[in-house]
């Protein structure tokens, strides 16, 4: 038998141990920051609306006040809010933004510490298969 009738196939695959764990950690921390950004944006919008004396009977203003009111409830009355006519500077909302940012940072660090796995060496596996080709002559 000659070597010209043999066919060799080489297949190399690489795997990175615990890659899925790192992806999960990354996605979880990104979700925490996304939710914080959304909440901080709504609270900042509320502060702005109160500063310009927006009509609280307007549907969109009422919606923003209602949603943010849930998150600002623990901080109500914490600090006096200076007023001038319809305009209000809610200092407690600014304080709440700081507290929520610290809580999000702590949550992100906890997720990172619990779930993150450092990158290890890439594992390469090479498979070689040889088959003989039969020809009729």
Domain that holds residue 24: 19-116
Q: How many CB atoms lie within 10 A of CB 19?
A: 13
Alpha carbon distance 39, 19 (integer Å): 31
For 67-90, write each residue's pLDDT tens digit: 999 999 999 988 888 999 889 999
Alpha carbon distance 81, 10 (integer Å): 73
Classify residue 72: in a domain, yes or no: yes
Classify residue 134: in a domain, yes or no: no
pLDDT along the chain (137 residues), means of 10: 63 73 91 97 96 94 96 92 90 96 96 81 69 61
Classify residue 10: in a domain, yes or no: no
Q: Which helix (H) or strand (E) holds 98?
A: helix 91-115
Q: How long, in residues, is the chain?
A: 137
Alpha carbon distance 74, 91 (integer Å): 13
């Amino acid at each position: 038998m000659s070597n010209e009738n043999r066919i060799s196939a080489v297949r190399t695959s690489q795997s990175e141990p615990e890659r899925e764990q790192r992806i999960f950690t990354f996605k979880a921390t990104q979700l925490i920051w996304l939710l914080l950004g959304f909440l901080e944006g709504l609270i900042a919008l509320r502060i702005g609306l109160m500063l310009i004396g927006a009509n609280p009977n307007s549907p969109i203003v009422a919606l923003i006040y209602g949603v943010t009111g849930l998150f600002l409830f623990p901080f109500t009355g914490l600090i006096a809010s200076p007023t001038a006519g319809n305009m209000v500077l809610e200092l407690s909302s600014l304080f709440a933004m700081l507290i929520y940012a610290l809580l999000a940072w702590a949550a992100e660090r906890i997720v990172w510490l619990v779930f993150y796995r450092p990158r290890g060496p890439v594992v390469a596996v090479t498979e070689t298969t040889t088959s003989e080709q039969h020809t009729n002559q």
